[in-house]
Amino acid sequence: MKEWENYFVLTGTGAVTLIGLLFVVITLGAERAPRDGQRLLRTYLTPTLIHFGVVFLIALLALSPEGDRLILPFGLIGIAGAVYSLSILLKLARSHETWDALLFHAGIPIVCYLGVIAAAWLGVTSTRQAYSALRLVSALLLLAGMRNAWAAATEVAHSKSS
């Protein structure tokens, strides 16, 4: 685990930084929020915020001195995240969203949370394999979240110029 400390420091820092930028986007977009702004916030920005928070939580747990013994709580994080992402998928499917919205807002996060569950299972026998899975999950959630934050920021910029 020692050789991957910098990785978790970087992903955790990146996630927290992007959370801050999401707050800026939300603040800037609040002035020109559409009527269904609350629905859009709950469907698109809140899940992105949660996914960044999970990346940060993974980094915190992985970097803690008890990190090797905390591998099983990742299972709970994975189950909660998978259930939440499935609910987002159902909301998006009901509103007939595009394939890329389904993929980045629900599909990739569901796969990632299943990866967190797998990491917890792997952690019972091999901490090294568990952390390998967590590194992949962190990267995927961070990349999907970056795409989602970019989509939100461009939407805010587009609505301000209209």
Query: pLDDT tens-digit profile of 63-100?
Result: 887 766 777 788 999 999 999 999 999 988 888 878 88
Cβ atoms 14, 37 nearer than 8 A: no
pTM, two decimals, is 0.85
Condensed to tens digits (0 to 9), the pLDDT of residues 101-141 reads 889 989 999 999 999 999 999 888 888 888 889 999 999 99
Cβ atoms 111, 136 nearer than 8 A: no
Q: Is residue 162 part of a domain?
A: no
- Would you call 66 helix, strand, or coil by DSSP? coil
Cβ atoms 142, 49 nearer than 8 A: no
Q: How many domains does the chain have?
A: 1
Q: Which of the residue ranges 14-18, 19-23, 151-155 has the most confident prediction, judged by mean pLDDT?
A: 14-18
Q: Is residue 140 part of a domain?
A: yes
| Cα separation, 86 vs 112, whole angstroms | 12
Domain span at 112: 2-157
Token pair, residue 55, equals 């990346």
Cβ atoms 155, 48 nearer than 8 A: no
